[in-house]
Every structure is written in C-alpha cells, then in structure tokens.
Amino acid sequence: MTDLNIETITNNLAVGYNKLEKGTFLEASEVQNLRRTNHALRKREVYTANLPLFRIHNRCLEYGLGGMHSFDDIAGADIGEFTKQILNKGGYKLTSSQVDQLESLDEPESLDVFWVKASDLKLKKDRNDTWSYILIDTSDVTASKLNDSQRFFAVKAHGSLELEDVGQELPDYEKNMNMLREEGKINETRIWLPTPDHIEDYIEEMGVVARACRILDFRHCSVFDAGNRRVDDHHGLCAVPIGYQKSAKLNKITLVNK
C-alpha cells in the first residue's frame, strides 16, 4: 500500500469505517507522516485507527492505546454497536471475549496495545473535571522531556508504529515535530485523555472501556484526542476505500471497476 492508494473518506466514524478496506485505516502516526507531503490533510480533522482503552488492573487504573489491529478486532467487529454505545453511554463496554482478546494483544512481543499506569502519565488537568492532557514541546524532537509512559503515547500519536524500546531513535517523530513547529508554527501540542476520576466512573459500571481517537487540524495545533466521544461528527478517515483490491501479482493496489 502506497500513499497514492490512500484517500480521505468523509463521514461519521461508523459509516466511514464501513466504506474502507479493512486493514488500511491509518493510525495517527501514519496520518502525521502523510501530512508531511499532503498539505491539504493538515486542514482536516481525522479519525484514526487507534483504540484508547481504560481498565483497573491489579487495583491500579491503567490507560491503554492500541493500533489498527486492535481497532479492527474490537471496534471493527461491530462498528455500529461500538459507536452507538459511545454516543449513548459515553464509552464502549468490551465483551468478555474481547477482554480475552486483549490478553493476546498485551503480550510483550505484541506492540499493538500497550498499557501504562494512569499515575505515570502525570496528566495535567484542564479547566473542567473531565479532561486532562500530556503537553508536548515540539522543539523536543527526541521526546526526552517526557517520561517513558508519556513518550509511548506521544510517539504512538506523532511518530512511529514500531516503538520497541524507550531509548530508540525516532526519525519520524523528529520529522513530524519539525513539521509542526517550522511549517505549522505550532510550539506545543497536546494529547487529550479523560481524567482518572471521570473514567473510573465508567469503568466501575462497564468494566474495560474503549473510546475512539481523532487528530485535529493544524489550526487546532494537531492535538491528538485519545478519548473521543463525538463519533457522529463528519471527519476524515484515511484509508483505501472499498473498490480497491490487492493484486498479488503486481503487489500493489489496483482499482476494481464495478
């Protein structure tokens, strides 16, 4: 799959997801990488193939962030029900079988979902009791000002799908921070997350909770919302639309005429 095959589908999350080829929905870091050359995408608010997860584990509140595989397996299993619960209840309650699925995605060798203690994120509170955030200085191109837990979230949003070690080099993250600072004139960006007190109320009632993600446009500082509940808004989804199929012989995506 190349950038030429990616289109921006505009709709709410459920309808838009049903218009794309499964396995092609871009994560936030991939959208940011694409924005380096696609300037029109910098003006778009975009849903991303990331899955924010919240749970109590060993009596400790944990925040998780998954990628495309967990999004497809959990949210994509019934995207209509997923978005319906978020709109009506404020979050999606994972089924018992989906909670079991998380165990396979939570193994050390799998990087699709990672979990951190909420307390380790050192979240800054917004002016209300619902939202908090991680502040990212775009001049910090190695994410050295962030602790390990914050760094995982920052790189998952703005840098790389292949974060294997907290000390590894981050070429995409560096390029994307430079893009935000030099071209977008964005000195700081944020990752928005629900406050611990707020999300614990949902966990108490629902167990393991999921929401959706979106990344905002440059005018709104390319903020990554990792607790989105406004899944009925019409935004972009960057993916290969249905109507393309992979040609094994040519190893590329070709348009299917129907």
149-166 confidence digits (pLDDT tens): 999 999 999 987 555 555
The per-residue pLDDT for 107 is: 54
pLDDT tens profile 33-58: 999 999 999 999 999 999 999 999 98
Query: Cβ(210)–Cβ(177) under 8 Å?
Result: no
CA 11 to chain centroid, in Å, comes to 17
Domain boundaries, the chain: 3-245
Q: Model pTM?
A: 0.88
Q: DSSP string spanning the chain?
A: --GGG-EEEEE-HHHHHTTB-TT-PPPHHHHHHHHTT-GGGGG--EE-S-EEEEEEETTEEEEEEE-HHHIIIIIGGGHHHHHHHHHHHSSEEPPHHHHHHHHHHTSTT--SEEEEEGGGG-PEE-SSSSEEEEEEETT-TT-TTS-HHHHHHHHHHHT-S----TTS--HHHHHHHHIIIIIS--SEEEEEEE-HHHHHHHHHHHSSEE-EEEE--GGGTT-EEEEE--TTS-EEEEEPBBTEEEETTTTEEEEPP-
Give the pLDDT band (50/70/90) at residue 127: confident
